[in-house]
Structure 1
Amino acid sequence: MIYTAGEMLAEFVSHEIGCTLQKTTTFSGPYPSGAPAIFIDQVARVGGAAAVIGAVGDDPFGEMLRHRLATDGVDISHLHTSKTLTTGTAFVSYFEDGSRTFVFHMDGTAADDFAAIPTLPQGSTLHISGASLGNPNIRAMIEGMLAQMEGRGTVSYDPNIRPELMRDPSVRQVIDQIITRCDIFLPSDSDIAALYPGQTAETVILDLLEAGKKIVVVKQGANGVLGSDGTAMIRLPALAVHEVDPTGAGDCFCGTLIGLLDQGRPFKEALAAANIAGALHVTRRGPMEWNPTLSDINEHLEIAPA
């Protein structure tokens, strides 16, 4: 079983490029969102055994999240419903260069209000999204879950580094702890630049594999993906698509990769499928409005040679 934990959010996406969330304009939403939610939904969409740990409010946004995750096959038995706090929210606007600005409402909402943390079964996989680490309550929960995984299963980590997190010593300490502990490391190019300035993606991959990681993959956006499981270094080009909304593409990539690996798929096959899934994901507005199924992915899939 693959578990993840963290913020469950309702997201609203601006249609106007460059509005900076400072003017009245047109938005779409609410959409089910939150990096852990996007990831675990995609695990289920590709047939993986998936469970989520988090909280939503007893409100329409919370019901939307519960319904989407359960309908797609995620075990929501550890998704707490708060009777006193509302579901967390996020608002996002894009710029011409593809960058984004967000306004999050998580602190003091159901997004960081948790019931007791369950003990994960032996042999479980725990996926950690770095986007969750900025919230102290969520960070503490993740630290507790990481501690119980010692000798019990696999830990995968998508750093999703933000500059403000790197400036917070308490957060940076946890980031370093997770990098040391994780078995599967899934950074982006920008994560590599923040964590290992001046080093190439290939050098970081080789160094971390030598240090004991089982799999290291670097997501490179329009340049595709580079990764290894300790055998060959595999580089795959990106699928050419029309980008509508990039939010959640990395989480979709990770959900596909981890979901397929957990089902026993070979690394090269799982990596190629994840590369396609991340590209397809950006072609519709909304952070998980196209978490593609295996059938969707297979329409575009060709296993590239190493």
Structure 2
Amino acid sequence: MSDGQVAVLGECVADGFVTGSARGELTLRVLPGGSPANTAVALSRLGTPTRFLGRLSHDSFGALFRAHLNASGVDLTGCVSAAEPSTLAVATLDESGQAAYSFYAEGSADWQWSTAELTAERAGDVSCLHTGSIALVHAPGADRIEELLARIAARATVSIDPNVRAGFVDLAVYRERMLRWCALADIVKLSDDDLEAIHPGEEAERACDTWHAAGARLVVVTRGPEGALVSLDGERVTVPAPVVTVVDTVGAGDSFTAALLHRLRSHGLLGGRLDTLDLDRAGDAAAFAARVAALTCSVPGADPPWARDLTGDGSPRARLP
């Protein structure tokens, strides 16, 4: 198995949070976000060498993204400097800290991948390529991403998080493509909300079996405070979620994905088809991921923990009460 970088492919999004309203004006606090970018930041902070593949605009949001990713130690040499504007998402938080987003993304940089830009050479010598979210479903770049996954699967583990955005992309697109993604992926991680959007009313175990049959070896379904379901070739275990005072859930799922990949890499399991992975180690990786996600929920915005925030066994050192 390879101990090379983990590459994360996808979008950076400027997350705007309303902080005030007065005299006919609305005040936004803008933070760097986007599910793939959040995942790359969380991976790098945990200590995994991480390469981000994105199209970063020359605008002020693009400068914010570069500074944020650089500060977390993410390798940006695989990025494209783009003339198009950045994507903006305005978040509304409910009483439980869950975020709903309104997207402003017409003609933005993230989705404009060309075949010439998105090459295996740009990904580099990586042990794993993770992607998902809007970049995987938004034309014209979505097809280019699937083409890259097919090319790189022969030498790297492929991980996908659909991260469904029903307000931005028609759910039919996810339903149409999900089995195709599972045929490309070794790891599929999604939330129970994603599951309900793609397979409404279906039990998680049955959906997992469908995705295993399509090709995905490891499927993890996160369930918020109820933990996560881990399914490896149909063998299953449930891991608990730590009790935490939730500030908001922004970026928690991305932190879970990053921590799952980080833990699998630390066991030397990335770089192939997960042939030596067993259910015990899959459960261990998911339990570690749940602890990292809980730490992210304990602070505002997508601000995942650093390795120094965890003890040697992955238990929280800080942030949790």
TM-score (norm 1): 0.83
Aligned-residue sequence identity (percent) comes to 28
Establish whether residue 270 from structure 1 lines up as the match of residue 285 from structure 2: yes
- Corresponding residue for residue 245 of structure 2: 242
For residues 172 and 52 of structure 2, the distance between their equivalents in structure 1, rounded to whole angstroms, comes to 27
Structure 1 residues 203 and 173: alpha-carbon distance in aligned structure 2, compared to 1, 3 A threshold: closer
Deviations 1:169-195 (CA, angstroms, capped at 9, x unpaired): 5x5433331123211111211222233
Q: Work out whether 1:88 is the aligned partner of 2:84.
A: no
Aligned counterparts of 1:87 and 1:213: Cα–Cα separation in 2: 32
Q: Which digits, 9 at most, give the CA deviation of each residue in 1:209-266, with x for residues without a partner?
A: 4665321111000111121335963322222222222121111100111122123264
Q: How does 1:60-139 map to 2 (within 5 A)?
A: 60-82=60-82, 84-96=83-95, 98-114=97-113, 116-119=117-120, 120-121=123-124, 124-139=127-142
SS in 2 for 1:93: strand
Alignment partner, residue 58 of structure 2: 58
In 1: Cα distance, 2:175 partner to 2:199 partner: 13
Residues 48-85 of structure 1: per-residue CA shift (max 9 Å, x gap): 12111112222332222112212212110011222x33
Q: Distance in 2 between matches of 1:284 and 1:74?
A: 21
Q: Which moved more, 1:35-44 or 1:55-64?
A: 55-64
Cα distance between partner residues in 1 of 2:118 and 2:182: 22
* Offset from partner CA, 1:8-66 (integer Å, 9 cap, x none): 122211247xx9xxx7444322x111111001111111111211111222233222211
Task: Pick closer, same or farther for the CA change 1:89–1:123 going to 2, 3 Å.
Answer: closer
2:6–2:126 contact (8 Å) kept in structure 1: no
In structure 1, give the amino acid aligned to 2:106. D
Check conservation: 2:57, 2:86, Cα contact below 8 A: yes
Assess if the C-alpha contact under 8 Å between 2:57 and 2:85 holds in 1: yes
Q: Which runs of 5+ in 2 are unaligned?
A: 269-280, 317-321
Q: 1:214 to 1:136 in 2, by over 3 A?
A: same
Q: Which amino acid aligns with 1:301?
A: S
DSSP 3-state at the match of 2:190: coil
Aligned length: 292
2: CA distance between counterparts of 1:157 and 1:101?
22
Q: Which of 296, 314, 321 does residue 281 from structure 1 map onto?
A: 296
Amino acid at match of 1:268: G
Contact 2:7 2:126 in 1 (8 A): no
Does the C-alpha gap of structure 1 residues 65 and 113 become closer, same or farther in structure 2, counting only changes over 3 Å? same
Q: Indicate the SS of the match to 1:78.
A: coil
Within 2, Cα distance between the matches of 1:139 and 1:77?
Answer: 21
Please tell me whether the aligned partners of residues 223 and 237 of structure 1 are also in contact (alpha carbons under 8 angstroms). Answer: yes
Structure 1 unmatched runs, 5+: none
SS at match of 2:78: strand
Partner of 1:49: 49
Answer yes or no: is the 8 Å Cα contact 1:46–1:260 preserved in 2. no
Instruction: Determine whether 1:3 maps to 2:7.
Output: yes
Does structure 2 retain, via aligned residues, the 8 Å contact 1:14–1:94? no
